[in-house]
Chain A
Amino acid sequence: MLIEPIISVNNLNKYFFSPDKSLKIDAVKNVTVDIFQGEVVVVIGPSGAGKSTFLRCLNGLEDFDSGTIVIDKIPLDHHHKNRLEIRKEVGMVFQSFNLFPHMTVGKNISLAVRRVRKKSVSECDKITVDLLEKVGITDKIDSYPGQLSGGQQQRVAIARALAMNPKVMLFDEATSALDPEMISEVLDVMKNLAKDGMTMVVVTHEMGFAREAGSRILFMDNGEIVEDRKVEDFFLDPIEDRSKAFLSKVL
């Protein structure tokens, strides 16, 4: 029996116009990719390559112009219901954390579990405590996000996404807004997740993470996937000139 991919992207295109409408820019161009359960796909490439746009298309935060996205057998189309279904199964972590500043850490984590998954209050409490333990900040449950460091906020954001018990996690440059000394605490949480078998799509500039935790690299440039290969192959032996140029700059 053929294993079905959990994310199936076919011929995805998204473009936008320059501010004076004279130039059509391809943000995502003819992207076709299948991602399977348990894979940790690391999307890398120069800035402006369309990595984030591609990632944001996957949970419908960004509309696309043509192509199809199917996640866990649900097509991401104009049906609002499908979109909500997909978002329940796809967690997302943002570069700027985007925690809800007026709620405590505990509330941040349990809100969607309570409202979207409709779990009971006691179940929500249990999930919250368990996840805070997982990301290593049990003592901050009653703090407000503003009282936490960047690294702690991002770990809460990861816990918030995990609380929905998603099948896929998307990371959009999760460590780019952090002070250098806090990057590792967030990366550690992500590595543990990868070890636990979570399916992840990670946009990052952390090559160390890609090497250590990634299973597959998507190298993007100008909206296209230039290389789609196993991590070790890509770093040892990049094929395309563009990947070579990029690697020589970042390594």
Chain B
Amino acid sequence: MKKHNYLLDGIILIILILAGFLGFIRIKNGFSYNWNWGAIPQFFFKMDTTGKVTPNLLMLGFFTTIKLSFWSSLAAVIIGTLMGILRTRRNLFSKLIGRTYIEIARNTPPLVLIFIFYFFIGNNITAFLGIDEWARNLSETGKSILSFLFSKPERFSEFISALFTLAVYEGAYVAEIIRGGLESIEKGQFEASDALGMSSRDKYRFVILPQVFRKVLPSLTGQAISTIKDSSIVSIISIQELTFQGMELMASTYLVFEIWITITVMYFVLTISLSTLASYLERRMVKY
């Protein structure tokens, strides 16, 4: 067995500590910034006039980010699964549809996609479907359910645009993940289901996809984490998620570093808990 070189480890550690120390000194002296961490907590929760504690901007943004990422990941998995299946079919037309979607979605900057959806498709389609009107005319309970699950009724059509864009963008990556999973399933599994007279739908639903999802769960988690991170770009169309709230707060308070460090930590907490959850699920799954 190769002997472990502890001397090298020690040297690297000392260099790192020195670099950290020098960096600290540099920030402390050469960088005149008035830290004011005390101002941050009030942006998490505030007391309203009646004395009740309610979530403030940062928490509201955090929740919006969670809702947006959840729904768009879900939609991305649905779109991605369908397109991934189409991509692997023998039929040329199916293959073309799958391929076209994946190539278009993967080879466009998400920011551009968001503009296209928001200004062009979003506006026209939500108006055509009457989504705005529908959201505004909901009953009070309907409105509160809508705000709990998605967003405030007044901002619902923007939220849908953002959700749809993220879903389409991330869906293309999901489709490639699913395709890889499908191609890793033995041909015999398809043949055995066919030989039993199963319909194509049942074959995928009961035999193929459960095996695929089990195989690609780690990659899908990675994609969900990407979705959370990418969701920050929808701040550009005034979705009031975490990054948007950060920019607002920064503009009004000038606590640039405190706010962005806080927001970084919040994103990190979100993504790290998701990957912890996923690895827990992975370990818990029945071994076969």
Contact = CB atoms under 8 A, between A and B. Distances in A.
A16 interface: no
21 contacts: A61-B194, A61-B195, A84-B199, A85-B197, A87-B195, A91-B195, A92-B195, A94-B191, A100-B207, A101-B211, A102-B214, A111-B206, A112-B193, A115-B198, A115-B199, A116-B197, A116-B199, A146-B288, A161-B195, A164-B196, A164-B197
B194 A87 contact: yes
A116 B288 contact: no
B9 interface: no
B93 to A, nearest CB: 16
Main secondary structure of the interface of B (DSSP, over half): helix
Given A160-B196, A164-B196, A145 B191 contact: no
A112 B189 contact: no
A155 B195 CA distance: 17
A145 B199 CA distance: 23
A98 B288 contact: no
B198 A98 contact: no
A100 B195 CA distance: 13
B38 interface: no
A88 interface: yes
A205 B45 CA distance: 77
A231 interface: no
Interface string A62-106: 000000000000000000000011011011101011111110000
- CB-CB nearest 4 A-B residue pairs: A87-B197, A98-B188, A98-B192, A112-B196
> What size tier do the contact residues of chain B reach?
20 to 34
Interface in B187-221: 188-189, 191-199, 202, 206-207, 210-211, 214
A100 B198 contact: no
A49 to B, nearest CB: 21
B186 interface: yes
A63 to B, nearest CB: 10
Contacts of B199: 84, 115-116
A60 B193 CA distance: 12
B185 to A, nearest CB: 10
Nearest to B200: A80
A150 to B, nearest CB: 14
Given A61-B194, A87-B194, A96 B288 contact: no
A155 to B, nearest CB: 15
Interface in A96-139: 96-102, 111-112, 115-116
Nearest to B191: A61
Contact of A115 (B189, B191, B206, B288): B206
Nearest to A170: B195
A245 B206 CA distance: 47
